[in-house]
Chains A and B, each alone.
Chain A
Amino acid sequence: NNNECLSLQSQQKNLEGYVGFASLPNQVYRKSVKRGFEFTLMVVGESGLGKSTLINSLFLTDLYSAEYPGPSHRIKKTVQVEQSKVLIKEGGVQLLLTIVDTPGFGDAVDNSNCWQPIIDHIDSKFEDYLNSESRVNRRQMPDSRIHCCLYFIAPSGHGLKPLDIEFMKRLHEKVNVIPLIAKADTLTPEECQQFKKQIMREIQEHKIKIYEFPETDDEEENRLVKKIKDKLPLAVVGSNTIIEVNSKRVRGRQYPWGVAEVENSDHCDFTILRDMLIRTHMQDLKDVTNNVHYENYRSRKLAAVTYNGVDNNRAKGQLCTKSPLAQMEEERREHVTKMKKMEMEMEQVFEMKVKEKVQKLKDSEAELQRRHEQMKKNLEAQHKELEEKRRVFEEERANWEVQQRLEQQKLEASRYDRHSPSLFSRSDCLALTNASIKDPTSCTNTTTVGFTVSVSGA
């Protein structure tokens, strides 16, 4: 229908003057500032790896303070998942930052399944978003999905621990995982280099998909991205204290042998992490969460809901792009066809049976009719026979009566004869009447022709 589908073919047009839609980016900018931003960051790692300190260093704030103690200060028996929300403002831009802590992770003696509460938490945030997205009445949908997970690797210098591998394998398809080497100031540059190589090797070996920086069309940007990629995983140092170094106030860790500066790129990769996480790729982390991780969750969830009860083989064959509603629509249509077929079949059977019965009835009617006709015929025949008989009889009787009369006349005539002669002789009269009696078939009608012979003197 030409009316309804917009032609997706588009043509290039040149503008002969300034129109003004180049201001669209400004309009978008303006609106986004008005709306404000959200970001949820999860930190995972054994206690004592400096997670809280790193967060404080990243966001230059005392997220964790005496009032709001960090996870390490809270003794946990099992893995907990806790959220802290803060609102921070900078340059007119407002950011609602949620930090998700996982105290107790990896701290127990038996850490089997210690990732489960974390997975459950991530899924529950997806679930919340899915539900609010699917409501009939949708308001502003708060996005509390986890946009990034910083995974802290202990600086052993050797390689990944089984727990590290297990965790990353289980979470890499649910969230953007950025592995970090914690407390990197315990490694020399060479040790760090080795450690990094080993870790990346193991990550590839186990097919772990850590967060990837997107390719852009920009040459410059791509070069930067390549440089970062070579340094993965980033080795970080965090600090809550400001120290004066060379009359500069810097965040750092004071040692007898010197100060490890957090923001010194020769000392650690902190600035790379900060720039990447906050200044350049924060939006991309959100987009990947929304377009990839969330969509995976959603499609799996909806497939389960849709095909719940539908023939599984069929469902697998077409894990299609339909929505649950479209699936129901299709099932409805199939059902309609099935019903039509059923109706047709029933109709056919019905018709056939009716035809049979009607035929039987017809046959029996015909039979009865026939018999009736037969009987009627018989009766008519009888009737005719009777008529004939009567006719014969009547004729016979009539003849006989005539004869009787004649006899009577003869008798009278003979008596008369004694008194007077007749014109006709007796034998003449007899001959006349005899003729008619002897040959009644000469008569053309059934009534006997009788001569009344008047034997008067005339």
Chain B
Amino acid sequence: RYVGEGARAVPLAGHVGFDSMPDQLVNKSVNHGFCFNILCVGETGLGKSTLMDTLFNTKFEGEPTQHNQPGVTLKSNTYELQESNVRLKLTVVNTVGFGDQINKEDSYKSIVEFIDAQFEAYLQEELKIKRTLHSYHDTRIHACLYFIAPTGHSLKSLDLVTMKKLDSKVNIIPIIAKSDAISKSELAKFKIKITSELVSNGVQIYQFPTDDESVAEINSTMNSHLPFAVVGSTEEVKIGNKMVKARQYPWGTVQVENENHCDFVKLREMLIRVNMEDLREQTHTRHYELYRRCKLEEMGFKDTDPDSKPFSLQETYEAKRNEFMGELQKKEEEMRQMFVQRVKEKEAELKEAEKELHEKFDRLKKLHQDEKKKVEEKKKSLDDELNMFKQKKTAAELLQNQAQQAGGSTTLKRDKERKK
């Protein structure tokens, strides 16, 4: 983490002037402008928009949303803010419809996809051949304010599930919303319950950094106040002779910026005034790196070859490319083979059909031959009968002729006798 380990230290014989380096760097970044992206996750009606307005002392976009959203969508708006010479491009992303559905199993999905999409966009830019990283508008989410409903009991399972899915992707800062609904004693118990539930479920929330001496103390104190119980309001009420942001009830007025009333001031301090830059840095060096690493590993990139020798970029890309080309060729081959196979199969099929056809007709032919034979036999027998008959006839005629001749004489004889 620290530069300069291992080099020899030498004393300086006077003022060189490189102690201006931090100023040079700061001037550059002020000229360039700053960028910060907040994601607000929480059920409809927990005062997310109001809190943003209160935090940034302005009225941001937005109509209050209805409870009838079919799914969770993310709406984002970007604003240009300026304070003294510091320009901030602030993007506020809201989860619309979170917690409104009957079946909330997929609620976290749109959120995760959104966060990943911003990482992906950055990764794509980073991987381009001609890239312009230093003027790239960073859309990655730097802080996720998770709004917990002020039930006073414990976290909802939706909360646990969602935070678990998000904790490796974004800096989560859990806050108890509309905390003016909880009494002080209940609040203490509530905070303890929430913290222990988060710990027992292994949810990693953002810890304010304690490695820099100048802010270590305040950060570690604040860490113990998490989750912050906040109240938001853009309405002003006169307290004493000052106009303060507050919520007026018949029984009293909740002052937003009164640290006895709620943790709003703490949240603002931590989120904006002390750790904004750290949140941005953590997003880049931890969450984004994790995303990038997973993505590249998914695509098959490795840092060392099988012999544990480190790959150079060229080698990596060439290896990937060769692998890729090989894959493509294999696919082509496979397809060709498949066709060859199909052709073979079809040919066999058709041959089989042809064979069957011929067999069929051979059978028919045979049947036909049999029939023909039968007919011929019949014919033959008929002819035989015919012949027999002819013979019979001829014989009979012969006999008849003979008989007639004899009969003729007999008839004559008879006639003669009659005449007698």
Contact = CB atoms under 8 A, between A and B. Distances in A.
Interface of A: 2-25, 27-39, 58-63, 85-96, 127, 130-131, 134-138, 140, 142, 216-217, 274-275, 278-284, 287, 290-291, 295, 298-299, 301-303, 305-306, 308-309, 319-326, 328, 331-332, 335, 339, 342-343, 346, 350, 353-354, 357-358, 361, 364-365, 368, 372, 375-376, 379, 382-383, 386, 389-390, 393, 396-397, 400, 404, 407, 411, 414, 417-418
B314 interface: yes
Contacts of B259: none
Please report whether the interface of chain B is mostly helix, strand, loop or mixed according to DSSP.
helix
Interface in B345-380: 346, 350, 353-354, 357, 361, 364-365, 368, 371-372, 375, 378-379
Given A25-B30, A350-B339, A414-B411, 11 more contacts: A21-B276, A22-B83, A25-B29, A25-B86, A31-B277, A90-B17, A134-B313, A328-B320, A354-B350, A379-B368, A418-B417
Contact of B26 (A7, A29, A279, A308): A29
- Which 4 A-B pairs have CB atoms at the shortest separation, nearest pair first? A91-B19, A323-B127, A36-B3, A27-B277
Quick one: which of A6, A8, A62 has the most chain B CB within 10 A?
A6
Contact of A90 (B12, B80, B134, B324): B12
Contact of A302 (B30, B129, B368): B129
Given A20-B273, A21-B272, A86-B10, A397 B81 contact: no
B86 A361 contact: no
A23 B273 contact: yes
15 contacts: A20-B273, A21-B86, A28-B29, A29-B22, A91-B19, A93-B18, A140-B1, A142-B3, A305-B318, A322-B129, A326-B128, A328-B324, A339-B335, A358-B350, A379-B372
A13 B81 contact: yes
A282 B22 CA distance: 11
Contact of A299 (B3, B16, B130, B414): B130
A256 to B, nearest CB: 26
Given A6-B76, A60-B14, A36 B127 contact: no
B80 A13 contact: yes
B331 interface: yes
B4 A87 contact: yes
A147 B113 CA distance: 40
A92 B80 contact: no
A136 B302 contact: yes
A16 B414 contact: no
A90 B19 contact: yes
Please report whether the interface of chain A is mostly helix, strand, loop or mixed according to DSSP.
helix
B100 interface: no
Given A6-B78, A14-B58, A323-B124, A364 B28 contact: no
B206 interface: no
How many residues of B sit at the interface, in one of the four size bands?
35 or more
Nearest to A143: B3
A86 B11 contact: no
B24 interface: yes
Interface string B119-155: 0000010111111001001010000000000000000
Given A25-B86, A61-B13, A90-B18, A386 B81 contact: no
A182 to B, nearest CB: 21
B218 to A, nearest CB: 13
Interface stretch (B172-180, B194-202, B291-299): B291-299
Quick one: which of A34, A291, A364 has the most chain B CB within 10 A?
A34
A90 B81 CA distance: 35
Interface string B263-287: 0000011001111111001000000
Interface stretch (B40-48, B62-70, B182-190, B381-389): B381-389
Contact of A88 (B16, B58, B74, B296): B16
Nearest to B130: A321
A374 to B, nearest CB: 10
A25 B27 CA distance: 8
B312 interface: yes
Interface string B314-355: 101110110011001001100100010011001000100110
Given A10-B80, A368-B361, A393-B382, A320 B130 contact: yes
A2 B73 contact: yes
Nearest to A37: B21
Contacts of A319: 129-130
Given A94-B3, A136-B301, A61 B11 contact: yes
B276 A27 contact: yes
B57 A19 contact: yes
A295 B134 CA distance: 11
Contacts of B368: 372, 375-376, 379
Contacts of B78: 6-11
Given A85-B7, A309-B321, A287 B28 contact: yes
Nearest to B322: A309
A368 B357 contact: yes
Nearest to A130: B313
A283 B301 contact: no
B103 interface: no
Contacts of A376: 368
A92 B386 contact: no
Given A339-B332, A365-B357, A19 B83 contact: yes
Given A16-B58, A364-B357, A21 B83 contact: yes
B415 to A, nearest CB: 11
A88 B17 CA distance: 11
A85 B293 CA distance: 32
Interface string B19-63: 111111111111100101100000000000000000111101000
A350 B342 contact: yes
Contacts of B34: 21, 24
Given A3-B114, A87-B8, A305 B314 contact: yes
A321 B113 contact: no
A262 to B, nearest CB: 11
Contacts of B410: 414
Contact of A414 (B8, B297, B414): B414
B57 A85 contact: no
Given A62-B10, A92-B19, A390-B382, A354 B346 contact: yes
B10 A28 contact: no
Contacts of B274: 23, 27
A3 B73 contact: yes
B25 A134 contact: no
Contact of B131 (A13, A278, A309, A321): A321
Nearest to B358: A368
B382 A389 contact: yes
Quick one: which of A59, A299, A320 has the most chain B CB within 10 A?
A59
Contact of B18 (A24, A31, A278, A357): A278
A324 B320 CA distance: 10
Interface in B82-102: 82-86, 88-89, 91, 93
Contacts of B137: 8
A319 B379 CA distance: 95
Contacts of A8: 78, 137
